[in-house]
Amino acid sequence: MTFRVPRTLAACLLLLAAPALARDLTPDEQASLQARIDSFEQAFEQGDIDAVFTVIPPGILATTSETYDITEAQVLTAMKQALAGMMETASIEEYRIDLASATVRETSAGRVYVLIPTTAYVRRDGQDEARRSDTVTLAFQDGDAWYLVRIDDAQQVGVLETAYPDFEGVDFSETRATQGSE
């Protein structure tokens, strides 16, 4: 008995200290996330900027609005203008969100989130070739809807953690963007 108690205690402590373990999405979660990704990609391809911005989580809109003391509508307008400005000097030739290669995890509060490899080929004015950008898209639910978030820099992660405190302490260090040409 003296050996079982310490082993059992050690096993319990390891479980408590372990980061959120990966699990599979349920079939309903998988289908609804795939539908969200499909609608986002379709909106992006069609240039439907209003639909593209529906993937921003409400908590991030509210936090940004509060931070800059402007309305959520003004936040969206500023974001759309920034995207339009970027698109004046660049074009996205291909954009893929690879849900089949995603990793599913949970925050310490039990929120399911998905890290999805994402690849874009962007050609800037004057470039002969499009440059490949590999990032990771964060997907999670707020209410019944899935939202998609860029998490490839510290500022983006900071806004996420302010808006959704259960993401504090989640290590996104492996999600940094890489650039290349192809």
Average pLDDT taken over every residue of the chain:
85
Q: Given this model, what pLDDT does residue 104 score? A: 96
Q: Given this model, what pLDDT does residue 174 score? A: 72
3-class SS string, the chain: CCCHHHHHHHHHHHHHHCCCCCCCCCHHHHHHHHHHHHHHHHHHHHCCHHHHHHHCCHHHHHHHHHHHCCCHHHHHHHHHHHHHHHHCCEEEEEEEECHHHCEEEECCCCCEEEEEEEEEEEEECCCCCCEEEEEEEEEEEECCEEEEEECCCHHHHHHHHHHCHHHCCCCCHHHCCEEEEC
Q: Which range in 5-19, 80-94, 136-150 is most confidently predicted, on average pLDDT?
A: 136-150
Q: Given this model, what pLDDT does residue 84 score? A: 87
Bigger pLDDT: 32 vs 126: 32
For residue 66, pLDDT over 90 is answered with yes
Q: Can you say whether residue 169 is alpha, beta or left, with left for phi > 0 and alpha for psi between -120 and 50 degrees?
A: left
Q: Per the confidence metrics, is the pTM higher than 0.85?
A: no
Domain boundaries, the chain: 26-181
Task: Give the lowest-confidence range in 17-21, 73-77, 145-149, 171-175.
Answer: 17-21
For residue 22, pLDDT over 60 is answered with no
Task: Give me the CATH topology for the region 26-181.
Answer: Nuclear Transport Factor 2; Chain: A, (3.10.450)
